[in-house]
Amino acid sequence: MSSWPDPFETREGADPGLAADLPWDGPGGGYQKQPEIRDHMMMPEKDPISGIPNRNDSTVTVTSLGDLNPKTPGEGVTLMFYFVTSWVLFLQGISSMSSLAVSYFYKNTLQVEPALLSTITSLTALPWTIKPLYGFLSDGWPILGYRRKPYLIISGILGSVSWFCMAVLVNDVWFGFVCMFIASMGMAVSNVIAEGMVVEKSRGQTQEFASHLQAFVHGAQAIGGIIAAYFGGFLLQYLADRHMFMLCAVFPLTIIVVALISPEVRFDGDLTAIRSDMAGKLKELWEAFQHPQIYKPVAFVFMLNATPATGATWFYFYTNVLHFSSTFLGTINVVGAICSLGGVLIFGNFLANTPFRPILIWSTIISTVFGLSQLALVFGWNREWGIPDAAFCIGESAILSILGWINTMPILVLAARLCPVGMEATMYALIMSVNNLGGVIGTQFGALITWGLGVTDSNLDNFWILVLICNLSTVLPLVFIGWIPPDGEDYGAEITAESERSQQKQKA
């Protein structure tokens, strides 16, 4: 991971609530329907939000000739579905309002050095690396008969209480880490439910519709990010960092409201059977993950995220060397957030049918080239060229934010299309967990390099070396670009078809 802005990471430090996360193709008629493999843990008898029964034709049907017949684009996607999933993603975006306040709090109040701040902020993303666990818990252990609402309510409570503690009680580095860790976990739980819904609705759809659906829900996240970016810097002129934490404690409470108004049919199935079947489901998940069509693309995405990242060090450079105010840092974030939305729209409208490989190759290479331009800012060359630091940073943020999301969207679409039928949400959560783990490791590598170079709050002499290493390392994973499918085929459906044919042979 290079020093250019990750779409889920601000220059002031990674936002644990937005760790690289966030979702295709299936069903129809056919000559003779084969036995289904359904994910009982992540796919209840009825849609967890709308309450609409999951229809048999919402799974991939494999004909005797191996044909896969897609359903009508948009079939079964309700307004309630759009509202709930978009609102959860919107909250992920707006939760980044705390990023600047967290950075100032750790730097000025707790006197934390860049390497440690990078370490702390990246470790708070660890809850996003165990996302399948939340799915298992919510499906296997309903609360009062419900498998979605109570967990959404719990996630809202965790987030609100954690930020309240940050505002009132925290005076220690690691106590603050625990609070942000729990808040991140709360957001991850709600994210799993929302993403599971997106994956289920994407099943059986064309790549184009799946891409548009991704663009819609992540567009909501980008809008939340725009609002957070502006007010995150603007309000710091008038509010102390602890007051910002108190404000951020209000946002998770809206998840509770969404949970209460969302229709969900009370679960009346056999929980004992579901729980006893979990070991078998884990085995199925592992066997599916071992297919080269799945583990190779996932390994590539992991490597793309696991390259070193500069993390929070840019915040120290902006404030100590360039002396940017919180208001201007917020302005940079606003430009980045708006351009992130632009990147989502560009992908959805112009690149939805483009093969994954060229998008990933060119967006990575171009981003690396522009990322290296940051050296001009570090050495002050931009001022010799007549470009003020402020203008240079805003332009750089705009370009890299667009490229960052263009690079991210194919990964989200690919992840959903790798999911075998019957375990879509579980597999997608696993894939995105691996993706998030790569981001954590990349930031930890960057923190280790920062420490090794002796970069501190008062000594940024070797910062340019960190920027150079992080940018050049970004292109290294492209050596394995062949592991990415060359087209938009639904490999998850193909694996399902292969598995069903194998089962039939064994029965015969």
- pLDDT at 488 (0 to 100): 56
User: Is the model's pTM score more than 0.85?
Assistant: no
Collapsed DSSP state (helix, strand, coil) of residue 46: strand
* pLDDT tens digits for range 283-322: 777 887 888 888 899 999 999 999 999 989 999 999 999 9
Q: State the pLDDT confidence band at 500, using cuts at 50, 70 and 90.
A: low
Asked if the model's pLDDT at residue 366 lies above 90, the reply is yes
Cα angle at 76 between 75 and 77, to 5 degrees?
Answer: 95
Q: Pick the residue with more confidence: 80 or 454?
A: 454
Write out pLDDT tens, residues 439-477: 999 999 999 999 999 999 999 999 999 999 999 999 999
The more confident residue out of 200 and 475 is 475
- Give Cα separations from 76 to 213, 295, 310, 312, 371 (angstroms): 13, 30, 43, 43, 42
List pLDDT tens digits, range 367-398. Answer: 999 999 999 999 999 999 999 999 999 999 89
> If DSSP states are collapsed to H, E and C, what string results for 198-264?
HHHHHCCCCHHHHHHHHHHHHHHHHHHHHHHHHHHHHHHHCCCHHHHHHHHCCCCHHHHHHHHHCCC
Separation CA 18–CA 221 (nearest Å): 9
**pLDDT greater at residue 70 or residue 79:** 79
